[in-house]
A and B are shown apart, each in its own frame.
Chain A
Amino acid sequence: NAGVMQNPRHLVRRRGQEARLRCSPMKGHSHVYWYRQLPEEGLKFMVYLQKENIIDESGMPKERFSAEFPKEGPSILRIQQVVRGDSAAYFCASSPASGRGEQYFGPGTRLTVT
């Protein structure tokens, strides 16, 4: 059973460009979570999605950030007009529809804004 897949693993963008981060959950998992880790900090929750629905986006910045989890295909975290402060590791996690709360993480995408 393949784990959570994220791509790209590394992404370099210039200020003002768009960044698109992709996440394919584990097989059989219908819940996806995005977290961000800034240097020297813990992981911060951003958004929780189920297929075609955003359940909790309380951790998403109000502007420039959006997320989706379409019926078909991976979940996408989109950052428009990136700034240097967006440089971080972005982790996706997934969990099954019924579970005890464990979330299984992908390897992360390291975004660098130059």
Chain B
Amino acid sequence: DQQVKQNSPSLSVQEGRISILNCDYTNSMFDYFLWYKKYPAEGPTFLISISSIKDKNEDGRFTVFLNKSAKHLSLHIVPSQPGDSAVYFCAASTGSSNTGKLIFGQGTTLQVKP
């Protein structure tokens, strides 16, 4: 049962343009969502998060949007840079802070072309 889905395995964009990565979830109990970036042979690096009481959170070039009615979130990267090329995972959790496991999507490989 895949509760968190990233339906696009890969995405290619030109440097300077916007990258939009999408994530859908099925469990309405999820109330905290996170995006991680992962380079080969490294651990995931936390990027940005959003609580279900918000619909947008912004941090520099990264913005996460949450549409609770559609059970959908997206990560926007503007402008995209070649160093952003990596695998991006969305993750979700239930309950209040620090209560346990994260449920990850399968990941989307982003390639930013110079």
Contact = CB atoms under 8 A, between A and B. Distances in A.
Given A43-B44, A91-B44, A98 B98 contact: yes
Contacts of B36: 105
With a 10 A CB-CB cut-off, give which of B44, B49, B100, B101 has the most chain A CB atoms. B101
11 contacts: A6-B43, A33-B100, A33-B101, A42-B106, A43-B91, A59-B101, A98-B98, A101-B32, A103-B102, A104-B46, A107-B42
A42 B43 contact: no
Interface residues of A, number: 32
Contacts, number: 74
Nearest to B49: A102
A105 B36 CA distance: 10
Given A31-B98, A43-B89, A98-B97, A103 B46 contact: yes
A48 B100 contact: yes
B77 interface: no
With a 10 A CB-CB cut-off, give which of B102, B103, B106 has the most chain A CB atoms. B102
A56 interface: yes
B51 to A, nearest CB: 8
Interface of A: 4, 6, 31, 33, 35, 41-45, 48, 55-56, 58-59, 91, 93, 95-108, 110
A42 B107 contact: yes
A105 B44 contact: yes
Interface string B1-35: 00010100000000000000000000000001010
